Amino acid sequence: MKNTLMKKIKDAFALKAQITETGSGASDTLKDTGWMPKEDAEGDVDLHYGDFQFSDFAYDPYEESEEVRAAREALTAGLGKRPESYTSPYLTELSSVMDRILNREEFTYDVNADALYQQYKDHYTTLGKTAMRDAMGEAAAMNGGYGSTWAQSVGTQAYQGALSELGNVIPALYEMAYGRYRDEGDALYEAYAMLSDREAASYGQYRDALDDWQKETETLLSRYQEEKSEDYGRYADGRDAAYERYADEKGFAYDAHRNEIEDAQWQKEFEEEKRRYEEERRMEEMRYEDEKKQQDEEYREKIRLELLAERVEGLSPSAILNELKEYRTQQNWEGMDEFLELCVACEKLDRTQAEKYRRRYGKES
Domain map (residue ranges) of the chain: 1-53, 54-314, 315-365
Give the pLDDT band (50/70/90) at residue 50: very low
Determine the pLDDT at residue 93. 92
pLDDT at 182 over 90: yes
pLDDT at 53 over 80: no
Residue 192 in contact with residue 101, Cβ under 8 Å?
A: yes
Amino acid found at 346: C
Mapped onto helix, strand or coil, the DSSP state of residue 60 is coil
Write the DSSP symbol of residue 362: S
Determine the pLDDT at residue 19. 45
Weakest mean pLDDT among 38-47, 224-233, 273-282: 38-47
Between CA 17 and CA 13 the distance in angstroms is: 8
In the predicted model, what is the mean pLDDT of residues 98-122? Answer: 85
Residue 200 in contact with residue 30, Cβ under 8 Å?
A: no
Weakest mean pLDDT among 50-54, 226-230, 304-308: 50-54
Give the pLDDT band (50/70/90) at residue 30: very low
Residue 365 in contact with residue 333, Cβ under 8 Å?
A: no
Determine the pLDDT at residue 280. 84
Higher pLDDT, 51 or 196: 196
Between CA 82 and CA 73 the distance in angstroms is: 15
Sign of the Cα torsion 217, 222, 226, 231 reads positive
In angstroms, how far is the first alpha carbon of the chain from the final one? Answer: 78
Backbone angles phi, psi at 65, to 5 degrees: -75, 170
Mind giving me the DSSP string for 154-221? HHHHHHHHHHHHHHHHHHHHHHHHHHHHHHHHHHHHHHHHHHHHHHHHHHHHHHHHHHHHHHHHHHHH
Write the DSSP symbol of residue 331: T
What pTM did the predictor assign?
Answer: 0.48
* pLDDT single digits (tens) 318-362: 888 888 888 888 999 988 888 888 888 888 889 998 898 888 888
Give the pLDDT band (50/70/90) at residue 23: very low
Determine the pLDDT at residue 143. 54
In the predicted model, what is the mean pLDDT of residues 282-301? Answer: 80
